[in-house]
Amino acid sequence: MVTNTPATRPANPRFSSGPCAKPPTWTLDALTDAPLGRSHRAAIGKDKLKAAIEGTREILGIPADYKIGIVPASDTGAVEMALWSLLGARKATMVAWESFGSGWVTDVVKQLKIDADVKTAEYGQIVDMAALDYDTDVVFTWNGTTSGVRVANGDVIPADREGLTICDATSAAFAMDLPWDKLDVTTFSWQKVMGGEAAHGMLILSPRAVERLENYTPAWPLPKIFRLTKGGKLIDGIFTGATINTPSMLCVEDYLFALDWAREVGGLEGLIARSTANAQAIWEFCDRHDWIANLAEDDATRSNTSVCLKFTDDRIADGAAFAKAVAKRLEAEDIALDIGAYRDAPAGLRIWCGATVETSDIEAMLPWLEWAFEAEIAAQAQAA
């Protein structure tokens, strides 16, 4: 039993699942080159936006014939744009195993009222991706941020599918291999694995998605911030840095810094290795302790970014209150901030392991987790 507080503290207690920790080398000075007070349509602004697009392509290995756009309203904006612009041309399959995926189901079924097959799984589990009909448009989340369950790989997605695959990859991009040939629409936001700033979404379109956009007009009206085509043609400017509306050049500068940092740590491979080392430290901690376990039931689908944990000790009387109390103790000690499970998820903890988190900080935090657990078990016994 641990009673004394551990000797080592994490240098950075930021383990939030979004906004996530800034890159370790980040300081506010990193933003001094931002073209503030200038038009984003001036050459200097457009060049920065283009560099953000092409830097994304370079680091993520996105094929040259895919379009990458910076769009309003963060990842939600990018997903909504895709759903409202593309769906309705054929039947849809909506796939969800946690809160964000469920949100997209609601949108498509209740708001757009599209004919859809809805496939869901409980928190900790995943829908059988091999059993889906890929001749329908399939909408899914690569990494369920609130359950810590991810798609293992894209092997089951057929190359010759007739439908589009629309993938919310916001907590996966830059930490997991994304099979671009299997993804027609991919979205993410800057504040997750790259530790960027919120507000802007990234929308990545395969040639087949562009073809759909240019040949299909939804039956419903589209507001200006969702519109990707004009006169039946893709608005190319969106994908070269002429954004639909005004972006924050401070956020763009910050993202450019994050892309530079990604190059320094070895590009995508380095980023994935950093995330996996972080998650591995937690997985091994779970293996060594019988009172805590990964929420993900199958090791092949456990996330290396949003690691979700559940307490499994049968002495715990009220699971939700216990998990909250442990998170509160760690927050009060400035050891781990914002690690409570997502509000709709089962009681437990969620520890962000994305690339900007240092493995040494995860390793320094874990003995404190044990300390907080023991302290709370003792407090519970005393109160009884």
Ligand X SMILES: Cc1ncc(COP(=O)(O)O)c(C=O)c1O
Binding site for ligand X (CB under 6 A): 18, 74-76, 100, 141, 145, 168, 170-171, 189, 198
Residue 269 host element (H or E): helix 267-288
Tokens of 93: 């399959």
Nearer to ligand X, 8 or 111 (CB): 111
How near is the Cβ of 198 to ligand X at its closest, in Å? 6
Nearer to ligand X, 147 or 322 (CB): 147
CB 324 within 8 A of CB 372: no
How near is the Cβ of 148 to ligand X at its closest, in Å? 11
Nearer to ligand X, 141 or 243 (CB): 141
Nearer to ligand X, 100 or 311 (CB): 100
How near is the Cβ of 381 to ligand X at its closest, in Å? 36
CA dihedral of residues 126, 130, 136, 140 (deg, nearest 10): 30
Nearer to ligand X, 136 or 171 (CB): 171
CB 199 within 8 A of CB 254: no
CA distances from 360 to 95, 327, 336, 363 (A): 36, 20, 13, 5
How near is the Cβ of 102 to ligand X at its closest, in Å? 11
Across the strands, what pairs with 351? Answer: 307
CA distances from 178 to 119, 188, 277, 343 (A): 22, 12, 19, 28
CA distances from 318 to 88, 295, 325, 348 (A): 45, 17, 11, 11
Nearer to ligand X, 125 or 189 (CB): 189
How near is the Cβ of 110 to ligand X at its closest, in Å? 18
Nearer to ligand X, 171 or 186 (CB): 171
How near is the Cβ of 146 to ligand X at its closest, in Å? 7
CA 382, chain centre distance (Å): 40
How near is the Cβ of 173 to ligand X at its closest, in Å? 11
Nearer to ligand X, 349 or 364 (CB): 349
CB contact set of 181 (below 8 Å; sequence gap of 6+): 63, 159
Task: Compute the distance between CA of residue 303 and CA of residue 370 in angstroms, rounded to an integer.
Answer: 22
Task: Compute the distance between CA of residue 139 and CA of residue 174 in angstroms, rounded to an integer.
Answer: 20
149 by DSSP, 3-state: which? strand
How near is the Cβ of 41 to ligand X at its closest, in Å? 25
